[in-house]
Amino acid sequence: MVRHRPAGEEATALDSILFSLLAQEQGGQGAPGAAGCQGMMSMLFPILLMFVIIFFLIIRPQQKQQRQHQEMLKALKKGDKVITASGIFGTIANLNDNVVTLEVAKNVHLRVLRAQVAGLQSGALEKAGEEAAAEGK
């Protein structure tokens, strides 16, 4: 079915794409199977390339970070100074398989899930935690 445009109407981008596809189909009479396969592979290659790039830029670093976090959780021991995912600073007073008891102040203990321990306190984080505790007094 051919659509006729009124005089003065310009070809759109879709019309030019359709025309080029029609020209390719008309020109490839020699080996239709090979041309179709080659066209499909040329369309599939950029998609595969994007998947590989996404894997190495996003997925793989995230997996590495999760692995490091799991190793840190397994290595926790009594007396470690930690920070939770919710931002609570504390010292590990007791730990079980899934639960960690934190001492956040003298005689103040909180029980949190082991998975909620975000990491060990570093020097800068420890200083910020001490400043926050001093302001709270």
- Compute the distance between CA of residue 122 and CA of residue 135 in angstroms, rounded to an integer: 20
In this predicted structure, what is the pLDDT of residue 36? 61
- Number of structural domains (the chain) is 2
- 69/107 same-domain check: no
Q: 11-39 pLDDT, tens per residue?
A: 566 666 766 766 665 555 555 555 566 77
Residue 135 pLDDT greater than 90, yes or no:
no
Q: What is the pLDDT of residue 103?
A: 96
Residue 117 inside a domain? The answer is yes
Global pTM value: 0.55
Are 93 and 125 in a shared domain? yes
Distance in angstroms (rounded) separating the CA atoms of residues 1 and 5:
13
State pLDDT tens for residues 59-77: 999 999 999 999 999 999 9
Structure-token match 């956040």, residue found: 104
Share of the chain above pLDDT 70, in %: 64
Mean pLDDT of the chain: 80
Mean pLDDT of 99-121: 94
pLDDT at 114 over 90: yes
Tell me which residue range forms the domain holding 124: 76-136
* Percentage of the chain exceeding pLDDT 90: 48
Q: In what order do the strands lie in the sheet with 89-95?
A: 108-113, 99-105, 89-95, 81-84, 117-120
- CATH number of the domain enclosing 116: 2.30.30
Burial of 81 (0-12, 13-18, 19+ CB in 10 A): middle
DSSP state of 116: G
Phi first, then psi, for residue 63 (nearest 5°) are -65, -40
pLDDT range class, residue 115, cuts 50, 70, 90: very high
